[in-house]
Chains A and B, each alone.
Chain A
Amino acid sequence: AQSVTQPDIHITVSEGASLELRCNYSYGATPYLFWYVQSPGQGLQLLLKYFSGDTLVQGIKGFEAEFKRSQSSFNLRKPSVHWSDAAEYFCAAGSGTYKYIFGTGTRLKVLA
């Protein structure tokens, strides 16, 4: 069955530290991959997406993600976290159609 797994429910980092959020997918073929961010009381905002080509994808707010086919992973990274990055992050996958499967999310806490 198709699935998206985010192994870390909560992550805490200090402001200025680097960040990596993990995402693994299980699909029959390489899906389209996305990262969304959700702040409290807000909808989901698209950070970046991967369809094909360069496996390192740049997004908004200084985020990037790397697609690794051999590991079925699409991890999100940021070199230096800001307090405003505290939110919940969702990885999602779709097989070229409209229906996305979302992971259960990783809640990021940033320490001052």
Chain B
Amino acid sequence: GAGVSQTPSNKVTEKGKYVELRCDPISGHTALYWYRQSLGQGPEFLIYFQGTGAADDSGLPNDRFFAVRPEGSVSTLKIQRTERGDSAVYLCASSFDRVGQGYTFGSGTRLTVV
């Protein structure tokens, strides 16, 4: 597509529930990134995919968070047993390679855990 698409744009869920956030990167971009932006903060790195594999998941806060990219295109960020502290905007970005040309970000998914 023309840009990075993230769905849903907003998600409200109850504490303890499971959520999935989807990212559809720009066609041909091999690198995909997830960031989390809490209120009043800059984005924080979560995970980076090169192709189908997670090359670096060191930013995932704990084992409730997991992400996949099975065919090297669309990625899904999965959060189990959501907590109120997970409330944030989850941003996805993609790029042609990992050398830091500057990402293209999606508009994000605003997750609210009540």
Interface residues, chain A, with chain B CB atoms under 8 Å away: 4, 32, 34, 36, 41-46, 49, 51, 90, 92, 94, 96-105
The answer on a CB contact under 8 Å between A104 and B40 is: yes
Central interface residue in A41, A46, A49, A98, by most chain B CB within 10 Å: A98
The answer on a CB contact under 8 Å between B43 and A97 is: no
CB distance from B75 to the nearest CB of A (A): 14
Q: Which of B69-114 contact A (CB under 8 A)?
A: 91, 93, 98-108
The answer on a CB contact under 8 Å between A98 and B55 is: yes
Q: How large is the interface on B (under 10, 10 to 19, 20 to 34, 35 or more residues)?
A: 20 to 34
Residues of A within 8 A of B44 (CB): 102
Q: Which of B35-50 contact A (CB under 8 A)?
A: 40-45, 48
Q: A4-B42, A96-B99, A105-B40 are in contact. List 16 more A-B contacts (CB 8 A).
A: A43-B91, A43-B105, A44-B91, A44-B93, A46-B103, A46-B104, A49-B102, A90-B42, A92-B42, A94-B100, A97-B100, A98-B55, A99-B45, A99-B48, A100-B43, A102-B43
